[in-house]
């Protein structure tokens, strides 16, 4: 008979909508004695997450009386975990959602709208624009901006100093600096163009005034075939194919390969994220004091926009006590705890008033990113379907095919634009 | 599914198969084997057939996150299958890569594995232990680790292979082996053969040790060379072993995923190297299109069933 219990248990798990929290009848958010709020947080963002969340737990129990149950989830498996938990009805009350996923989960009906809570907490207008945009679906906010990072160029200050190089502020200067590095340091790859990383290429499309896709009426049109986009990509891939500033291997590199090679000292500069300096210094302490950053230059000065990648805190529709869930979200995403999180993780807070401190900072590893964040932070096209474009690797495929000289820029952009339009408009 | 002949069916109570007597009377003695098998069959049905049926049902739906959340079904007939067959990518890239790769990889694994088995069989007991322990290491290595070793060897900028080729002047500029379809799959074949041959070698060795020594000696006395001895005595004796080894390798090599997905460009950014496994992941599961993914899985299952049945038929044909 024992064997018969397996299917029964499976059926029960599949049909019953179990909420992860054990809470029964709770009261208002400020008095939730005996309740438990379950929370999923991504692992690896904060090197000392345990200590941070111990503090959060204490504070949360003080304020609401409820207990906090924090689970750490790996980024790599997170998407699958969310989907299976949605399917099995075992979602947490609150979870950190990557800002390209929030729209997707909201579109599926798994997340609760937060607009009323945000207004009640007087936070309208105090949240970082780019993160609000990516957390919004059909004019409702489903993801509370928590933290975000941005890509700029990280470079080796010691090498630039040694060669007397200035930080480039235009595309022409970028080429000049790259060529100077190539000549003086032939064992290094002056400016790697990673073929498997679309985010590093976006600034060169946006910076030249083009877009990835825009919506008019009900139809999405990709701007990749515009002369501006083609010129930007011609320049970006040309750094590898024409000027030889990249390497053969970089044609198939992803963001992790860039980090590894920077750590090993193979790269004097590379487009990297604001969250990466701690990882660089942890893996190679010798680089302490030898790295700096500068915003990605525009074609003739200014700054090329870069993608704001970050996380929202989302409340799941299945949560039984949404007031309590919001109390946690507000505590984490605003004020002192949010500030502390940003400081410990090297990310920027999602609250505009907190962000101002970061902008005022003169830390050489914070200020350039903050400038990029505020002056040149932007979002990929806001639609739940953009996830499909990411999954298909449309843009990495485009860049890689140009780098490996399988397609011309014109051909590659045409194919990519067609694919984007099909994915965004289709189905 | 029609593969096992009737004498493999469970109730083997009377020698010589089903006799008219047992058919007439359903006595306790005929029912008992089934009763004893019932729990196992039930578990099999629940754990194997039910998921299989679910996959088939999903494949007839447009099933995404929205359906998962709401629990509603959304039948669309054979649209998923139509979409798959209408995709030029399937015919131009995915299928040729999958089938071509499987043929080469299965051939390579079986031939190399058999050669190693013949080597092992001719070694003394001590050396056999040493050599088989060594090849076990290749087998025991996780697919992910093994794949990264090959990636490092062929790394364009700092890999050993490029270093040697550049050093000896065979190539002038560093070559990225992962961007070209042919060199990409050559590396995958090396990886798969390296990882797969120990299983073949050990299995074939077990069979080889069972081949009667007298027969081989007699053939040697009669003047048969090594090739003749292998193809006329050893191979026919080991036919069932080869059947198992080939079918299993074919199944494994058809659905190879990690060894391709983890290679540079293999996760979708290099479209010319997609195989069925990675393509179905990128097209369906990565986009939450579970219906489409299920349809691809159903097709892959059918394809493998056909291949397996064909193998079994040809390998056992002569015996009957």
pLDDT digits (tens, 9 = 90+) for A189-218: 999 999 999 999 999 999 999 999 999 988
Pick B268's closest partner by Cβ from A7, A266, A397.
A397
User: Which of these, A168, A190, A422, A151, lies nearest to A305 by C-alpha position?
Assistant: A151
Mean pLDDT of A331-351: 90
Domains of chain A: 35-149+308-371 (3.40.190.10), 151-306+378-425 (3.40.190.10)
User: Which of these, A334, A329, A324, lies nearest to A102 by C-alpha position?
Assistant: A329
Q: Quick one: pLDDT band at residue A379, thresholds 50, 70, 90?
A: confident
Interface test with A, best of B44, B54, B69, B181 (most A CBs within 10 A): B69
Q: How far is CA A422 from the centre of its chain?
A: 24
Is residue A180 within 8 Å of residue A163, measured between CB atoms? Answer: yes
User: For residues B245 and B249, what is the distance between their CA atoms, to the nearest angstrom?
Assistant: 6
Mean pLDDT of B85-98: 92
User: For residues A304 and A178, what is the distance between their CA atoms, to the nearest angstrom?
Assistant: 18
Which helix (H) or strand (E) element contains residue A141? strand A140-141
- Kindly state whether A43 is in contact with chain B, defined as any CB-CB distance less than 8 angstroms: no
Share the mean pLDDT of chain B.
Answer: 86
Instruction: Tell me the three state secondary structure of residue A210.
Output: coil
- Cβ contact B288–A86 (<8 Å): no
Proportion of chain B above pLDDT 90, given as a percent = 49
- Kindly state whether B183 is in contact with chain A, defined as any CB-CB distance less than 8 angstroms: no
Query: Looking at domain B89-317, does it have CATH number 2.60.40.10?
Result: no
Least CA distance to A105: which residue of chain B?
B65
DSSP H helical ranges for B45-124: 50-59, 65-70, 79-86, 88-89, 95-121
User: For residues B99 and B299, what is the distance between their CA atoms, to the nearest angstrom?
Assistant: 14
Give B93-121 pLDDT, tens digit per residue. Answer: 999 999 999 999 999 999 999 999 999 98
Give B27-42 pLDDT, tens digit per residue. Answer: 778 888 889 999 999 9
Least CA distance to B40: which residue of chain A?
A3
Which helix (H) or strand (E) element contains residue A344? helix A335-345
* Eight-state DSSP code of residue B49: I
Share the mean pLDDT of chain A.
Answer: 88
Interface test with A, best of B150, B152, B269, B289 (most A CBs within 10 A): B269
User: For residues A408 and A243, what is the distance between their CA atoms, to the nearest angstrom?
Assistant: 16
Least CA distance to B41: which residue of chain A?
A3
- Cβ contact A249–B176 (<8 Å): yes
CB pairs under 8 A between A and B: 106
Distances (CA, A) of A90 to A21, A316, B70, B133: 9, 10, 14, 46
For chain B, the structural domain boundaries read 89-317
Least CA distance to A389: which residue of chain B?
B287
User: How far is A360 from chain B, CA to nearest CA, in Å?
Assistant: 39
Strand residues in chain B grouped as ranges (E):
none
pLDDT of residue A93: 95
Give A109-125 pLDDT, tens digit per residue. Answer: 899 999 999 999 999 88
Whether pLDDT at A13 is above 60: no
Contacts of B287 in chain A (CB under 8 A): 387-388, 391-392
> Long-range contacts for A223-228 (Cβ within 8 Å, ≥24 apart)?
A223/A417, A224/A398, A224/A413, A224/A416, A224/A417, A224/A420, A225/A413, A225/A414, A225/A417
Is residue B89 within 8 Å of residue B279, measured between CB atoms? Answer: yes
Instruction: Tell me the three state secondary structure of residue B190.
Output: helix
How would you classify the pairing of strands A67-73 and A136-137?
unpaired
Interface test with B, best of A142, A248, A399 (most B CBs within 10 A): A248
| B188 Cβ contact partners less than 8 Å away, ≥ 6 residues apart | B101, B105, B256, B259, B260, B263
């Amino acid at each position: 008979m024992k064997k018969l219990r397996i299917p029964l248990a499976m059926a029960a798990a599949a049909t019953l909508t179990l909420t992860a929290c054990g809470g029964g009848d709770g009261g208002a958010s400020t008095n939730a004695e005996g309740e438990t709020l379950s929370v999923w947080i991504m692992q690896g963002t904060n090197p000392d997450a345990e200590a941070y969340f111990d503090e959060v737990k204490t504070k949360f129990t003080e304020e609401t009386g409820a207990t906090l149950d924090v689970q750490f989830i790996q980024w790599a498996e997170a998407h699958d975990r969310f989907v299976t938990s949605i399917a099995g009805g075992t979602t947490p009350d609150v979870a950190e959602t990557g800002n390209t996923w929030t729209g997707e989960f909201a579109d599926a009906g798994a997340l609760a709208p937060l607009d009323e809570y945000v207004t009640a907490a007087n936070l309208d207008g105090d949240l970082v624009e780019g993160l609000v945009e990516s957390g919004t679906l059909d004019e409702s906010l489903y993801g509370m901006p928590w933290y975000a990072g941005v890509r700029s160029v990280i470079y080796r200050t010691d090498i630039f100093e040694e060669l007397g190089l200035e930080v480039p502020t235009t595309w022409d200067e970028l080429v000049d600096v790259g060529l100077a590095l190539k000549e003086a340091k032939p064992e290094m790859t002056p400016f790697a163009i990673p073929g498997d990383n679309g985010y590093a290429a976006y600034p060169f499309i946006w910076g030249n005034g083009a877009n990835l896709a825009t919506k008019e009426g009900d139809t999405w049109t990709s701007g990749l075939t515009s002369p501006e986009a083609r010129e930007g990509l011609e320049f970006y891939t040309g750094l590898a194919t024409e000027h030889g500033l990249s390497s053969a291997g970089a044609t198939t590199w992803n963001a992790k390969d860039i980090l590894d090679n920077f750590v090993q000292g193979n790269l004097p500069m590379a487009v990297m994220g604001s969250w990466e300096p701690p990882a660089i210094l942890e893996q190679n302490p010798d680089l302490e004091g030898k790295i700096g950053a500068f915003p990605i230059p525009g074609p003739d000065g200014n700054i090329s926009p870069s993608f704001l990648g970050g996380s929202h805190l989302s409340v799941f529709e299945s949560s039984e006590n949404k007031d309590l869930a919001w109390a946690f979200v507000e505590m984490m995403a605003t004020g002192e705890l949010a500030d502390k999180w940003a400081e410990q993780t090297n990310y920027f807070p999602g609250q505009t008033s907190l962000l101002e401190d970061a902008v005022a900072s003169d830390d050489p590893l914070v200020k350039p990113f903050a400038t990029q964040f505020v002056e040149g932070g932007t979002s990929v096209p806001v639609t739940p379907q953009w996830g499909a474009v990411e999954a298909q690797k449309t843009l990495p495929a485009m860049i890689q095919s140009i780098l490996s000289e399988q397609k011309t820029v014109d051909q590659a952009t045409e194919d990519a634009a067609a694919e984007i339009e099909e994915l965004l408009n289709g189905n | 599914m029609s593969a096992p002949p009737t004498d493999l069916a469970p109730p083997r109570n009377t020698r010589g198969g089903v006799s008219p007597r047992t058919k007439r009377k359903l006595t306790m003695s005929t029912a008992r084997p089934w009763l004893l098998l019932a729990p196992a069959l039930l578990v099999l049905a629940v754990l194997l057939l039910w998921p299989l049926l679910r996959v088939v049902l999903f494949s007839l739906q447009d099933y995404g996150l929205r359906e998962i959340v709401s629990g509603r079904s959304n039948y669309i007939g054979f649209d998923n299958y139509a979409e798959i067959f209408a995709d030029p990518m399937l015919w131009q890239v995915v299928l040729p890569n999958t089938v071509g790769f499987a043929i080469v990889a299965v051939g390579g694994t079986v031939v190399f594995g058999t050669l190693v088995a013949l080597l092992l069989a001719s070694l003394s007991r001590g050396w056999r232990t040493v050599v088989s322990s060594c090849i076990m290491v290749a087998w025991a290595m996780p697919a992910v680790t093994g794949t990264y070793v090959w990636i490092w060897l062929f790394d364009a900028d700092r890999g050993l292979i490029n270093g040697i080729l550049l050093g000896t002047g065979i190539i002038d500029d560093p070559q990225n082996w992962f961007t070209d379809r042919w060199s990409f799959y050559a590396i995958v074949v090396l990886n798969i053969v390296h990882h797969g041959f120990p299983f073949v070698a050990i299995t074939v060795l077990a069979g080889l040790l069972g081949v009667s020594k007298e027969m081989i000696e007699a053939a040697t006395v009669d003047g048969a060379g090594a090739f003749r001895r292998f193809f006329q005595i050893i191979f026919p004796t080991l036919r069932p072993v080869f059947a198992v080894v080939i079918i299993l390798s074919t199944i494994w090599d058809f659905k190879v995923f990690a060894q391709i997905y983890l290679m540079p460009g293999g996760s979708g950014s290099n479209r010319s190297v997609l195989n069925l496994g990675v393509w179905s992941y990128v097209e369906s599961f990565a986009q939450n299109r579970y219906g489409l993914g299920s349809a691809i899985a159903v097709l892959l299952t059918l394809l493998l069933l056909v291949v397996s049945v064909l193998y079994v038929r040809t390998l056992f044909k002569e015996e009957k």
